[in-house]
Amino acid sequence: MIGQRLDKYTILKSIGTGSMGTVYKAEDSQDGRLVALKLIRSQVLYSREKREQFLQYLLDACQVHHQGVCRILDIGDDEDDFFVVTPFIEGRTLELYLDRKPLPWQAALPIGIAVAEALQAAHSAGAIHRALKSSNVWIQPDGSVLVSDCGLARCAEVAKKSRAAHFGGAADYAEVPIPMAALAYMSPEQIRGDALDQRTDIFAFGALLYEMLTGRHPFEGRSSASRMSAILTAEPAALGSKAGSVPPELERVVCRALAKEPADRFQNMSDVLAELYSVQDREPAEKTPVPETDSRTRPASYWWPALALVFLILCAVVALILARA
C-alpha cells in the first residue's frame, strides 16, 4: 500500500493495525495536509447493506462539532475499498502518556474534564463513542486533549452482529475475540450484548478516570474471560488503596460511573461534568495538604536567616582583626 493512491490520498506509511483494519499516514494531494486514513477490512463490511448501515453511523458521527473530538474529514466507498479519513494527530495517546503510572489527581482532573466535555458533545449530537479507551484519547503538543474514533466502534458491532446472524448465533461479545485493551473499558451491558446508550460511555469514562488516578485498570484479569467476569461481578479496589490522597468527591464520581447497572450510574455526561467542575473549583487550601517537614527535609529558605547571621559575625571578626593589624 505504501506509495499507492486511494482517491486523492497518497499512502505514506502504516501507523497501526486493529481488528477493523489498518490505519495509514497519508497526504491529501489537493492541499498537501497530512491525514490518518483508516482502511476497513473487506471482511468487516462484506455486503452493500452493511456498508450503507455503517455509512449512516459515520454520517451521524460527522454531526459532532467540538474542539475535543477528532472530526471525520472524508469517507470513501468505491466498492473495493471503504475508508475513513481524519486529521493526522500530533502528540501522544493517553496510554503512552500514562505508561501504566498514575497521575496526581490535580493533573488527571483537567484531562478527565476535557474527555467528558467531548463525550457530552457527541451525545448531544446523537452519537455514542462505544469504544472509549486510553489509546483513543490524545494529548497534543499544546496540552489540549482530543478524543478520536468517535462512532467508528459501531463498525465492529455491525460486523459482530452480522457474523453472528450469518452463522445462526447470538450477537454476544463472549462469542468473538476482543482485544484485551478494548475489553478493559467495556460496560457490563456491552459484554452481555444488550442495547447500548450513552451510559455505556459513562462506564468507560469511569474506567479511564480510574486508570489515570491509579495507573491500573479497575477490572484486572489474565484472560479475556476472567476480565469479563470481573467487569460483570467484581468491584474495583478503592481508589484510596491505589491512588493515595484523592478528594472524596472525585472518588464518588469514579465509583458511580463504574456502577454495574446503567440505572445506578450518572444518566448523562452533564451530571458527570457538574461533579467534576465542583472538584475543580475547590479552593487551593482544600487540595492535597503538604506534609510537615522535619529538620532533614526543611527547604533551603528555612536556613537563610541563620546563614545571614553567621556571615555578619564572620564579617565583624575579620573587620576587628584588620583594625588591630
> pTM for the complete prediction?
0.76
Give the pLDDT band of residue 267 (cuts 50, 70, 90): very high
d(CA 204, CA 255) in angstroms, rounded, equals 12
157's grid cell: 458491532
How many Cα atoms sit within 13 Å of 109 on the Cβ side?
A: 20
CATH class of 5-284: mainly alpha
Give the pLDDT band of residue 109 (cuts 50, 70, 90): very high
What is the rounded average pLDDT of the residues 225-246? Answer: 86
Per-residue pLDDT tens digits for 210-233:
999 999 999 988 888 999 999 999
For the beta carbon of residue 155, count every other beta carbon within 10 angstroms.
28
C-alpha separations of 79 from 11, 48, 307 in Å: 19, 9, 80
Give the pLDDT band of residue 297 (cuts 50, 70, 90): very low
Question: What amino acid occupies position 79?
Answer: E
**Cβ-contact 77, 63 below 8 angstroms:** no
Per-residue pLDDT tens digits for 31-60:
999 999 998 876 666 667 777 777 777 777
d(CA 277, CA 287) in angstroms, rounded, equals 14
d(CA 298, CA 301) in angstroms, rounded, equals 8
- Output the CA angle 309-313-316, nearest 5 degrees: 140
* β-strand partners of 307: none
101's grid cell: 503510572
Give the DSSP H/E element, type plus range, for residue 311. helix 304-324
Per-residue pLDDT tens digits for 117-153:
999 999 998 888 888 999 999 999 999 999 998 766 5
Q: Identify the DSSP state of 285.
A: G
Convert 148-166 into a string of H (helix), E (strand) and C (coil): CCCCCHHHHHHHHHHHHHH
d(CA 40, CA 34) in angstroms, rounded, equals 19
Per-residue pLDDT tens digits for 166-210:
434 433 333 334 555 678 999 999 999 999 999 999 999 999 999
C-alpha separations of 13 from 52, 75, 96 in Å: 28, 19, 20
